[in-house]
Amino acid sequence: MRKLLIAAAIVVVLLVVGDVVAKAYATDQLKSRAQRAVRGATSATASISSFPFTGRLLVAGQVSEVRVGVGPVVAGRLTFASVTVDLHDVHVNRNRLINDRKVQLTGLGSGTVTAELTDVEISRLAGTRVRFSPGHVTVSAAGIEATASVQISDGSMSFAGLHIPLKFKIPRAPLFPCDATSAVVKQGAVDVSCTVHEVPTELVGRALR
């Protein structure tokens, strides 16, 4: 009986280790894919939240959550400090993973993409000092400071409550394929985000021909 328990424990350990290794392999592919997709990017991160990773993938063909971040990301005149992609209930091509050891994302339940804009970057674009603090923005011009709120409309960011209007179009970019619909102001930066209904092209993983 004791030998059976030891053998069972060894099998469980091997399964867990194999699951961890498989998830790390898939995660590394997504990380490399994201960094290659963004010219000039100097950093990238990726994580997969799903346990057991292999079992759920083989049975359901999906993982719970995929999170990928990369930065900086240049978009026209503007540079995002980072872009983060959060995908939930992500469908994975099991055949490609098993036969080719390639992670191909084929669909998702829901997803959000968030881009970080620093106050240094916005100050450069505005030609005047802009400072972000939790919940509001402070703009300095001609020795006068004014506090305003940040608004997002039609893919553009503006500061409400200023005598001089400031408005910036938030461009689409690699891994940021949609028009911004919301903003969260934090210390030194603002996070603009949008909802995605498909996996961003840069993360899909092309099928073999």
The residue whose two tokens read 């799903």 is: 50
pLDDT confidence bin for 25, thresholds 50/70/90: confident
Q: What number of residues does the chain have? A: 209
Q: What local confidence, expressed as pLDDT, does residue 97 receive?
A: 80
- For 179-191, what is each residue's pLDDT tens digit? 999 999 999 999 9
Tell me whether residue 177 is in a domain. yes
Q: What local confidence, expressed as pLDDT, does residue 99 receive?
A: 83
pLDDT confidence bin for 70, thresholds 50/70/90: very high
Quick one: DSSP state of residue 132?
E
Who wins on pLDDT, 9 or 178? 178
Tell me whether residue 206 is in a domain. no
Q: What local confidence, expressed as pLDDT, does residue 65 receive?
A: 94
Distance CA 172, CA 189 (A): 18
Distance CA 4, CA 10 (A): 10
Whether omega before 52 lies within 30 degrees of 0, making that bond cis, reads: yes
Tell me whether residue 209 is in a domain. no
Q: What local confidence, expressed as pLDDT, does residue 207 receive?
A: 53
Q: Domain residues for 116?
A: 1-201
Q: What local confidence, expressed as pLDDT, does residue 21 receive?
A: 65
Tell me whether residue 208 is in a domain. no
Total structural domains within the chain: 1
- For 36-53, what is each residue's pLDDT tens digit? 999 999 999 999 987 677
Question: Averaged over 128-138, what is the pLDDT?
Answer: 95
